[in-house]
Chain A
Amino acid sequence: MSAALLLEVSGLSKSFGGVEAVRDCSFTVPEGSITGLIGSNGAGKSTAVNLISGFHRPDKGSVRFDGVEMVGLSPDQIAARGMIRTFQTTREWGSLTVMENMLVAAPSRGRDSVWRSLFTPRAIARADREDRQTARGILGEIGLVGLRDHRAGELSGGQKRLLEFARIMMARPRMALLDEPLAGVNPVLAERIDHAVGYLRSSGITLLIIEHNLGFVEATCDTAIVMALGTAIATGRMEELRTNPAVLDAYLGVATVA
């Protein structure tokens, strides 16, 4: 029994001024799964994610999301189709409150047009009220609800990371690409992030997670894709990958378990 392939990446290539960051990279992500994307530094993982989410344009290759070609679309168009990503640094909207961050993260459905604000204010107010209620629930689950009137810029680093998860939950995408959610994170926070990841998954969001923390990948992900030198060299469950000669070769000396 195989789930539909939500994301199909094939032949992706990108060079930056002579340096080949991604080279003929191909992999797939089934719908409803949690897939890890691992590899040593410089393997091209972040670049691949940038290419998939539209922030860079690939030189060659194709990215099919739910069967539709994404290459050539702008990042906001791709996001509108249901693929949301995080960045290696937290990118909260600092002067907005946590609640306002959630409200902006919610799918807009045309609500942010000037026209509607002027001519259908009641409908907008109602939609806002509903979103606020939803947001409070999510923030409660993630553990940030007491901070919802604080400006996002005033939060601690860990709280900002949790906010990223809350925003994704609010946006209800079909797929989320997480860029090193556990980087530099202490064990207590790691637990909360772990919980947040589970929370996302339980809502049916497909996850592709770039991570160096192999323990996390083993515990949380169904399968993992291994990248090295810009291309995907293996896919499978962590136990299989641990004994895969190509993986060991590329990864020699870099294996870390939290």
Chain B
Amino acid sequence: MIDYIVSALTLVSIFAILALGLNIQWGWSGMLNLTFITFAAVGAYVSAGFDLGPPVYAHQQTYIIQLSTPFPVALLAGTLAAGIAGGIVGAIALRRLRSDYFAIVTLSIGLVIYQVVAQNRGIFGGQVGLFGIPQPFADLLPLTPQQYMYFYLAMCLVALLAVYLLVRHMFGSPFGRTMRAIRDDELAAQAFARPVFWFKLRAFVFGSLIAGFGGALLSHFVGAFNPAGWTPGETFVLYTAIFLGGTGNNLGSILGTLIFVGIISEVTRYIPPIPGNPDANEALRGVVAGLIIILVLRYRPQGILGEPRDNDAKRDSQAGTDTYLPAAPAVAQPT
């Protein structure tokens, strides 16, 4: 039972990292990337390729990257690869700048990448995917398999904390403010000298980098990775988490992931399977996800936590600078 909880928590923390990345694209910047999971997959595959050696059973799996680098290098490679992919896809999808075009294009490109990878064994092993992915640091630490699981969980929690702190810092920075302004009103942002395309592209790449980072952690956690792990539906799991927790709210993304991925998904796993319909439980999760999104948007669009708000009065009093004129009604002056 404990093992199960450790494993579930690890998965939740990885998904929380992914949710934070998606929150940057959607929550901060208003970009509806419908194929976010693809970038996580890039990170997953590339990082695996970097630290997998040549396949032991060449007839079972083939893939294009076959280095044997240590895990940190692989992790970095996966993250960067996802960022580059984000740069390319973002540059194409942001051309038209209208939100529905953008969403459609991301979905289309994602579906195609999925098809290409799934049907070509030579790239990343096709439907079979990659397996036997080495466990990070396993050979350096004398741990039993059970202890290793705790280690991996700790590693993921540290990673989550790091990503969260990074994201929170950027949210309050001028960059984060500008992205939110662009989300609220692009034209006004342009009128105030912000090159909207470049900002959106930057935010897109930022989110993609985090996706790749999370994806690398995911493939190394499971030890294997194949198309079943990044079906188009997985992106919606992340969206549900973000909507639930509060779009734009970083802590909310983590909370939403915990509630949806951790609790609800696990619960639906326990519903007795319907005979003759093996996909039903998975599908049920999809139904619940869609329902949650609609209900949240209808009755509490800001999610559980709502978007954090700047508090200047507090800063003012902390700095001891609250010596300004009170808000008196102005009087018209003759010209």
Partners in one complex: yes
Binding site for B on A (CB under 8 A): 53, 55, 74-77, 79-80, 84-87, 91-97, 99-101, 103-105, 107-108, 111-114, 117-118, 121, 124, 128-129, 132-133, 136-137, 139-149, 151, 167, 171, 191-192, 194-196, 198, 219-220
A93 x B202 contact (CB < 8 A): no
A146 x B327 contact (CB < 8 A): yes
- A133 cross-chain contacts in B, Cβ below 8 A: 321
Could you say which of B142-150, B176-184, B254-262, B271-279 contacts chain A?
Answer: B176-184
A108 x B174 contact (CB < 8 A): yes
Residue on A nearest B176 in the bound complex, by CB: A117
Give residues of chain B (176-205) contacting chain A, Cβ–Cβ below 8 Å. 177-178, 180-181, 183-185, 187-196, 199, 202
A108 x B193 contact (CB < 8 A): yes
A146 CB to nearest B CB, Å: 5
- B269 cross-chain contacts in A, Cβ below 8 A: none
B177 x A195 contact (CB < 8 A): no
- B196 cross-chain contacts in A, Cβ below 8 A: 76
What would 5 more interface pairs be, CB under 8 Å, given A87-B188, A92-B184? A93-B181, A113-B175, A117-B175, A192-B330, A195-B331
A79-B193 in contact given A99-B312, A148-B313, A149-B310 (Cβ < 8 Å): yes
Q: List 7 A-B contacts (CB under 8 A).
A: A55-B187, A93-B188, A100-B310, A117-B169, A117-B173, A140-B324, A195-B333
Q: When chains A and B are docked, how far (Å) is the Cα of A132 from the Cα of B314?
A: 12
Residue on B nearest A108 in the bound complex, by CB: B174
A195-B192 in contact given A95-B184, A117-B170 (Cβ < 8 Å): no
B169 x A53 contact (CB < 8 A): no
B175 x A142 contact (CB < 8 A): no
B331 CB to nearest A CB, Å: 7
Residue on B nearest A91 in the bound complex, by CB: B188
The total number of A-B Cβ pairs within 8 Å is 164
- B170 cross-chain contacts in A, Cβ below 8 A: 114, 117-118
B177 x A100 contact (CB < 8 A): yes
A171 x B327 contact (CB < 8 A): no
- A220 cross-chain contacts in B, Cβ below 8 A: 335
B134 CB to nearest A CB, Å: 31
- A105 cross-chain contacts in B, Cβ below 8 A: 192
B325 x A145 contact (CB < 8 A): yes
- Asked if B98 CB lies within 8 Å of chain A CBs, one says no
- B192 cross-chain contacts in A, Cβ below 8 A: 76, 79, 84, 104-105, 167, 171
Total interface residues in chain B, CB < 8 Å: 48
Q: When chains A and B are docked, how far (Å) is the Cα of A197 from the Cα of B195?
A: 27
A149-B313 in contact given A104-B181, A112-B178, A195-B333 (Cβ < 8 Å): yes
**Of B184, B191, B194, B315, which is in contact with the most chain A CB atoms at under 10 Å from its CB?**
B191
A191-B332 in contact given A114-B202, A133-B321 (Cβ < 8 Å): yes
B330 x A140 contact (CB < 8 A): no
Selected from B181, B190, B309, the residue in CB contact (under 8 A) with A75 is B190
- A142 cross-chain contacts in B, Cβ below 8 A: 330
A117 x B310 contact (CB < 8 A): no
A151 x B206 contact (CB < 8 A): no
Selected from B175, B202, B333, the residue in CB contact (under 8 A) with A198 is B333
Selected from B169, B174, B206, B330, the residue in CB contact (under 8 A) with A195 is B330
Selected from A124, A151, A194, the residue in CB contact (under 8 A) with B332 is A194
Residue on A nearest B182 in the bound complex, by CB: A93
Q: When chains A and B are docked, how far (Å) is the Cα of A124 from the Cα of B326?
A: 28
Give residues of chain B (266-321) contacting chain A, Cβ–Cβ below 8 Å. 307, 309-313, 315-316, 319, 321
B324 x A104 contact (CB < 8 A): no
B181 x A96 contact (CB < 8 A): yes
Q: When chains A and B are docked, how far (Å) is the Cα of A104 from the Cα of B333?
A: 29
A213 CB to nearest B CB, Å: 14
- Asked if B248 CB lies within 8 Å of chain A CBs, one says yes
B240 CB to nearest A CB, Å: 21
Selected from A85, A96, A140, the residue in CB contact (under 8 A) with B327 is A140
A242 CB to nearest B CB, Å: 18
Task: Give per-residue flags for B192-229: 1 if the beta carbon is below 8 A from chain A beta carbons, else 0.
Answer: 11111001001000100000000000000000000000
Selected from B185, B189, B190, B325, the residue in CB contact (under 8 A) with A141 is B325
Residue on A nearest B315 in the bound complex, by CB: A132
Selected from A79, A87, A94, A151, the residue in CB contact (under 8 A) with B309 is A151
- Asked if B58 CB lies within 8 Å of chain A CBs, one says no
B87 CB to nearest A CB, Å: 13
A157 CB to nearest B CB, Å: 16
A76 x B174 contact (CB < 8 A): no
B331 x A191 contact (CB < 8 A): yes
Residue on A nearest B206 in the bound complex, by CB: A114
Q: When chains A and B are docked, how far (Å) is the Cα of A121 from the Cα of B324?
A: 27
- B174 cross-chain contacts in A, Cβ below 8 A: 103-104, 108, 111-112, 117, 124, 128
